Amino acid sequence: MRPLAPGVHQLLGRPPHMVNAYLVEDVLVDAGTPSARKRITRQLDGRKLAAHVVTHAHPDHFGSSHTVCERYDVPLWTGQRDAEAIATATPATGPGLVPALMSRMPMPDAHPVARGLREGDEVAGFTVLDVPGHSPGHIALWRDHDGVLICGDVFFNVLRPSAPPKFLTYDDELNRASMRRLAELRPKLVLFGHGRPLRDPDRLSRLVG
């Protein structure tokens, strides 16, 4: 694991930074694709785990969630409006042909959601922010005292900071509003679902300006 901030580690990925998961104190945030389960559990074995949080109900973020929760006997938490999608493995899709075709692809194992997270809830020293758009119940995690933001897929940082692809986004206009909200926090460290960490708050401000 790669330490990024006090109590925050990034799990090693293959390829690096393509699909990210983070250990925040004793909470795993996101769990990659189903094929990542061995890589993730190899890094978690021997560590104390209290819960698993999923930022949003897309299969590249809850792909190994069932395995993680069963192996370590921990509850799964996610945004309340994404809870049913994970519990039934039926993510909401945006408009258009490509999302409709993608919804017919095999999905990860479903898993019961023990807690639907709401704006203002606390998770391992972070505050839950309700930032819908990329999915109906997308959440971010914000630590105010040192400016660390785990933004899920509200932003991507593949090659450069950007909005997520429209064809993967449930409501692009709503996600743009969530992007503006997070950029206004001026985070000192941004951790993405896809891409390298970012330590320049001006990059997000310019993107949404």
Tell me the average pLDDT across 171-182: 97
Q: Answer yes or no: are the C-beta atoms of 25 and 7 closer than 8 Å.
A: yes
Take residue 168 and report the two structure tokens written for it. 């993967």
User: Does residue 164 have a pLDDT over 90?
Assistant: yes
Say yes or no to pLDDT of 161 above 70.
Answer: yes
What's the pLDDT at 96?
A: 73
What is the per-residue pLDDT for 133?
97
pLDDT on residue 209: 81
- In this prediction, residue 153 carries a pLDDT of 98
Tokens of 1: 């694991």
* Weakest-pLDDT range from 7-16, 63-72, 86-95, 133-142: 86-95
Contact 56, 76 (CB under 8 A): no
Cis check for the bond before 106: say yes or no (omega within 30 of 0): no
pLDDT tens figures, 86-106: 999 998 877 776 666 666 778
Q: Round the average pLDDT of the chain to a whole number and report it.
A: 95
CA distance 42 to 148: 26
Q: Express each pLDDT in 92-145 by its tens digit.
A: 877 776 666 666 778 899 999 999 999 999 999 999 999 999 999 999 999 999
Determine the pLDDT at residue 138. 98
pLDDT digits (tens, 9 = 90+) for 24-42: 999 999 999 999 999 999 9
pTM: 0.94
Q: 5 pLDDT exceeds 70?
A: yes
pLDDT at 45 over 80: yes
What six digits make up the tokens of 49?
Answer: 């785990």
E strand segments, 31-125:
51-54, 76-79, 115-117, 122-123
